[in-house]
Amino acid sequence: MNRRIVFGLLVVGLALGTTPVAPGERDAPIDRLDRFRALAAARLGPLELSGGEPAPEVVGELYALLDDEILDNLASGSLFASEGFLQERLDALREVWGGAAFRVLALGGSGLTVVAFQLSPGGWGNSVRVYGRTGSAAALVRAIHREGVPALHDMPPTRAGHPQFLIAWVGPQSSRGSTGLRLELWRMRGESVDLAWSTDGVIEGGLVISRFALGPQQVSFRYEVRYPGWKPGCDGQTEHEDLYRYATGGETFVLARRQVVNGWHREFHAVLARFLAALGTPDRRALARWVPDGALSARLPARLEPDLACDAADGPSPAAVTVAAVEPAGGRPWSLVFRRAGVGWRLAAAAPVE
């Protein structure tokens, strides 16, 4: 008989509860499905309307059911322990709770099975769990919890044969289309699964991205760069677009290329910071570098500080930029217009905002 037909009959039989239960199984599959349905309806359904989060013990109860489902099938071995069969079983659970999503990844030849559990699109309770063997018994080897929705990606083993996998933790999307991202490379050494590399270790402050792409052993992402003058929620600021490739020599991801987008904005704000510092000194001659017009220099207040309003540039590679500033004494707002002058910037106009 065709193997695909046999596989389909086994799935249907298991879902109906007619397939014999493997020795040592703690709950019949149909009972576990009913328990998951009842728990989701009683504990998660009301929260879907209110937008709240379940108590930790509820999440623990859900994972106890999910772990039992995985471990019982792994203990049964053969087709029951295959990636496709486990995915079918978890998809049956997903059908009774629409907010859930599961992805099974079997690391071939290693005996490890990795499952990404999304219990909520909002991020609560999501986990990546690694299953293997402790002695002769199937066991949960590691549970990984982070903020965001996990996505699994297969990786080749190390030169020494250690299995590994990549997780992309993706946060909720903002009104501007940006989202948080954390990439992690996990590797098994001996009997433990440990973090081998993370974007948190190479990019300070975490990633807020506008786009990213994963390819064979490489990842690229465009992300916000934090620097003096950066303001949350503003367009046209400096970003980096990085490409990281997996280097087999060092068995880690390394930066292969970096493209700077809107680099002028970071450079401009370095000039603005020096201008504001010079403005705060008693010697107005220090301003001449940025304000060659003596009459304009004389009209400026004794001190200005940057405002949180977004800058207004006249194009992608601007010749003029208008920035907001404020007098610290009294809070009077000012509008400053800078224009390019050769390779630098000069103050062309300044006036209080009435």
Q: What band does 197 get if pLDDT is binned at 50, 70 and 90? A: very high
pLDDT digits (tens, 9 = 90+) for 42-79: 777 666 656 677 778 888 988 999 999 999 999 998 89
- The span from the CA of 213 to the CA of 332, in Å, is 46
Rounded to an integer, the average pLDDT of 231-253 is: 96
Six token digits for residue 67:
């772990």
DSSP string covering 138-155: EEEEEEEE-SSEEEEEE-
pLDDT at 11: 38
Report CA-CA distances (Å) from 148 to 68, 114, 118, 119, 154.
24, 17, 9, 11, 19
Sort 192 into a burial class: Cβ within 10 Å, 0-12 / 13-18 / 19+.
exposed
Q: Measured between alpha carbons, how far is 41 from 166 in angstroms, rounded to an integer?
A: 33
pTM for this entry: 0.83
Q: What contacts 149, CB < 8 A, 6 or more positions away?
A: 118, 121, 123, 126, 169, 170, 171
Three-state DSSP at 230 gives: coil
* pLDDT at 30 (0 to 100): 59
Q: What is the pLDDT of residue 235?
A: 93
| Phi, psi (degrees; rounded to nearest 5) at 222 | -110, 125
CATH 3.10.450.50 domain range(s) in the chain: 264-352
Does the domain spanning 264-352 belong to CATH 3.30.465.10?
no
Per-residue pLDDT of 269-318, as tens digits, reads: 999 999 999 999 988 788 999 999 999 999 999 999 999 999 999 999 99
Q: Please provide the average confidence, as pLDDT, over all residues in the chain.
A: 87
Q: Are 91 and 118 in contact (CB under 8 A)?
A: no
C-alpha–C-alpha distance, residues 112 and 70, integer Å? 12
* Selection from 12-26, 164-178, 312-326 with the highest mean pLDDT: 312-326
pLDDT reported for residue 13: 39
Beta-ladder partners of 149: 170
Rounded CA-CA distance 238/263 in Å is 5
Q: Could you tell me which of 350, 309, 353, 312 has the C-alpha nearest to residue 332?
A: 353
From residue 37, give the alpha-carbon distance in Å to each of 31, 71, 126, 309. Answer: 10, 19, 18, 50
> Which pair of tokens denotes residue 205?
């402050």
Sequence-distant (≥ 6) Cβ neighbours of residue 157 within 8 angstroms: 107, 110, 163, 164
